[in-house]
Structure formats: C-alpha cells, structure tokens
Amino acid sequence: MSQKLNRRRFIQSSAAAAASIGISTIRTSAASVDKYIEAIVIGSGFGGAVASLRLGQAGIETIVLERGRRWQITDAGDTFCTTNNPDGRAAWLSSNTILPPPVPAFPIDVYTGVLDVKRGNGINAYLGAGVGGGSLIYGGITYQPTEELFYRVFPRTINYSELDRVYYPRVRSILKASPIPDDILQTEYYLASRILMEQAAKAGLQSTKIDIAFDWDIIRQEIAGEKVASIINGQIYYGANSGAKNSLERNYLSMAEATGNVEIRPLHIVTTIEESDRGRYRVVCNQINEQGAVVVQKSFVCRYLFLAAGSIGTTELLLRAKTNGTLRRLNNQVGKAWGTNSDSTALMINAAQTNPSFGSPGVISIEHLDNPIAPIILEPFQSIPFVPQGILPVLGQGISKPDGYFNYNVLTQSADLFWPGDSADRQKNAQALQYTYQLLNQANGTSLAGLPDYSSTAHPLGGATIGQVCNTHGQVFGYPNLFVVDGSLIPGSTACANPSLTIAALAERSMDHFVNRIPS
C-alpha cells in the first residue's frame, strides 16, 4: 500500500473517530438556533422504530435522529458489500473491516458503513449503524423467551401474559416473521441446520423452528437465480442485497413516515442531551457526510425525548449528561447492569459436509432449558468464507448476570466498557454450555475445535435498566417525558432468546402507556 494511501486513510480515520464522539472537525456553518419539535427519537433500531411509528400514529410531530445512512435496496442488488469482497460499506467509520477472528481485517476506505464495534475491557460488542439500526445486520431471528425464564431476568411489574397475548404477536405481525418453510430447509443451503436438528434428536435434546423476519418468497427467487444470492449465500452481517430481510426500514419505519408526522434524518450524530426550560429537552447533534466529517451542528428543543440509540449509544449519552451536569438528577445506576446475553461461539467438528458458509443463522434452535447447571440454547449461525467444510459453527446463549458496567472517559468523551470475563456467573454458564456440547458430542461422535469463545457479543444489553434508571415503562427517574425504549432497559439478558423481539415488544408496551396518557 502506498504511503499516500496510508496517509489518506489515517486522515479519514482520525476525522471519523472525532466525528463519532461528537468533536466537530469540519463545520461549514455555525450551530443553528434551537428548532422546536414536539418529539425526538434518537436511533432507529427496534425501540426507535416502534416509538416513531406510534408517535406518528398519535399525530405527534416527530424527528428521528439516526447516525447512519439510509440503505435502499437496488434492483441491481448492489446496495451492500459482501463478506467476500468488503469495502467501506462494511464498517462504521473504520479504516479496516471489523468482523471477529478468524476473519482477517482488510483495509477499507473510511465510510459510514453498517457494522460497528465497541471494544471494551474483556468484550467486543457489535452493533448496527444506519436507518434500521441492528435490523440491518441481524439474522432476522424473532425469538420469544418462556415465561419462567423471563421472570429470572425481569421484574414482576411487567406482565408476561400481556406481552404474550398482545405485544409479541403485534411485533411478529409487523415484521412478518415466520418459521422457515420445509422446501427451503431441505435445500443444500440449510444443511447445517438440518444436521444440528438430527444431532440434537440423537442426544435427546429438543429442537424447534424459530420465527424469522425474512421474505421466504424472495429467498425462493434467490434459489431460482432470479435474485442476487444473498441469504442463501450467507450474506447477513453487511445487509441482504436481495431484499429478503424484513429489516425495520421496510416495515415500522416506512409505516411511521407514511403517517406524515415523522421525519427520519440520517447522518445525524447526537452529542448532547440536556434540560431546557418549561420541562423540555435540548438535543444537539452533528450532521456528518458519508466520510464522517462534520458538516453542521444543529440544536433542537422537544417536549418528548425517546432514547433508542442502543445499549451502547443510549448509555453513553446518559453518562455524558450525568458527567457534564446537563441532566443532574440522573442516579448512580446509569452505566451499570450491562451484559452480553451470555453469547458464545463454538465450532463443532463433523466428519461430513456441513456447508458452513451457506444459509442464514438461527432458523432452528436447540433448547436445553432444563440443563442441570443453567438453561442454554444453541443456534447454527452462518459462518464466514474462511471456515472449511466439516465445521458446524454454533451460537450459544443463556442468562448472563448484568455484571458489566461503563465509566465515562472525559478525555475521549466516550464511555469505556468493562466486562468481567472470569466472573462466577460466566464460569457457571460456560460449564452449562460444556455440559450440552458433551451430550451432543457423545451422541454423534463430534467434537469442539476449541473452547467456546465468549470474547464478543452481538447482543449488548443494559446500562439504563428497568427498576434502576427507568420505571417499568422506560421513563427515566426524575425526568418526565424522557424515555428509554431500547436494549439499555434490559438487565443483561433476554432469558435464553435473541433480544430483538423482546426489545420491540417492551417498546410497544411503553408506547401504548405513553400514548394513552398524553393530553388530547
């Protein structure tokens, strides 16, 4: 690589890093005067998308401030880059790709790409960036926890039967989530899922199909060669070019905009939230370009403020406000009770073909909820192209205690993340996972390529949790009309289930409560 290119990437990376924490490296005009908006939603992931739709339907003028860009599916099928041929679209303001090992890091131009990582002490947390948030990069898994396990995590003030009867079905219907059809499951692209189901049966473990937010007809078109091979080719982490993924900009967010009351503003990084006069809130943000340079600073005042920037983003905004004194009544629980959903990854060695790079992750689940040590679920997940045949990649999840926490770093103007990887709870979950894998290995003659890896999570949860920072409907203690509606609410785990469905269902519950109580 030439010295000139290295210097260009260094300058881009430095500017992007500064922009991502709110430092204005380039400003073409001075900060604008405050503009009043009735409601502001920060972030457009599962919580923010729900909030924006319900605000719009209630006739409330709303803007959604999203740090990432829009990703509209093209007829050419080239909206996103691929894991085989990554470019700047792969990562958020990074000079290298950021997928975890064994994927090597490839140099790329700094760009507002779809995948971001928060590198902490003991953990790397992966998150999405763009209109649609984490739904751009997830596997469509729409997984409901059981009532018994739900109450191991959540307080009894949340009525599970109401979630089960009203809110979980509502979310599934809007996301159009359904189990994989048998004709698709029987193709070569889902060989790994079928193998894991067969192995579970031999080990006496239960397997089940999971509701997935995919358009299965488009996947059939992929199989027939009528659409670009995306889902069937394992292209999940950087987005699906075929349009088969029912990500949030294709349902909740488009429905919100259709009300005529909601405007989504991409490439707006919120830097400050503070109290204004008359019980209102001021939100300051930097509008950036697609290379991360700050174009202009903007300031808004709103009556209702909804934080939905994800566990990492929302917690950082609250910690900054607490540290800088812009929200002085925040309590000392902000930044605490964070967890990883007990995420782990492992590679099972099989004697036969497994097609590890095909298909999509998690269309089936192995539920070992009566594991004598701790409840565990396993899901096959799509691997990257560097894993050979005979390997079956597996994602494990459980119930992790929220032992992680954030400290605000005034030098970097960001929140530092700490995760105790050797805690007693982590060791207990590792033993439970090992117990389940031993059952599978003994019944099938398989083995693990190494110990399960707990060094990264795609499910960061907590930091502004229910009962500690917020009430049961997400209102921040001491601050009327300031709400948290994302994964920050959840104390470390969604009880042996992928979090997206529960995040959205809790947001639906909170928004029903809000809308029913606002003045008419």
Structure-block tokens of residue 479: 């601050």
Residue type, 271: T
How many Å apart are CA 127 and CA 116, to the nearest integer?
5
Helix (H, G, I), strand (E, B) or coil at 343: coil
pLDDT at 520: 59
Distance of CA 326 to the CA centre of its chain: 27
pLDDT at 7: 39
How many Å apart are CA 404 and CA 238, to the nearest integer?
27
CA nearest to 37, candidates 50, 22, 56, 23: 56
Residues 6+ apart with CB under 8 A from 305: 39, 40, 42, 273, 281, 283, 481, 482, 483
How many Å apart are CA 177 and CA 418, to the nearest integer?
35
Q: Work out the number of other CB atoms within 10 angstroms of the CB of residue 263.
A: 15
How many Å apart are CA 509 and CA 106, to the nearest integer?
42
Helix (H, G, I), strand (E, B) or coil at 500: helix
Predicted model pTM: 0.94
- Strand pairing report for 414-418 and 405-409: antiparallel
Helix (H, G, I), strand (E, B) or coil at 415: strand
How many Å apart are CA 311 and CA 419, to the nearest integer?
14
* Low-confidence residues of the chain: pLDDT under 50: 1-18, 21, 23-30
CA nearest to 315, candidates 489, 473, 101, 145: 489
Q: Which helix (H) or strand (E) holds 363?
A: none
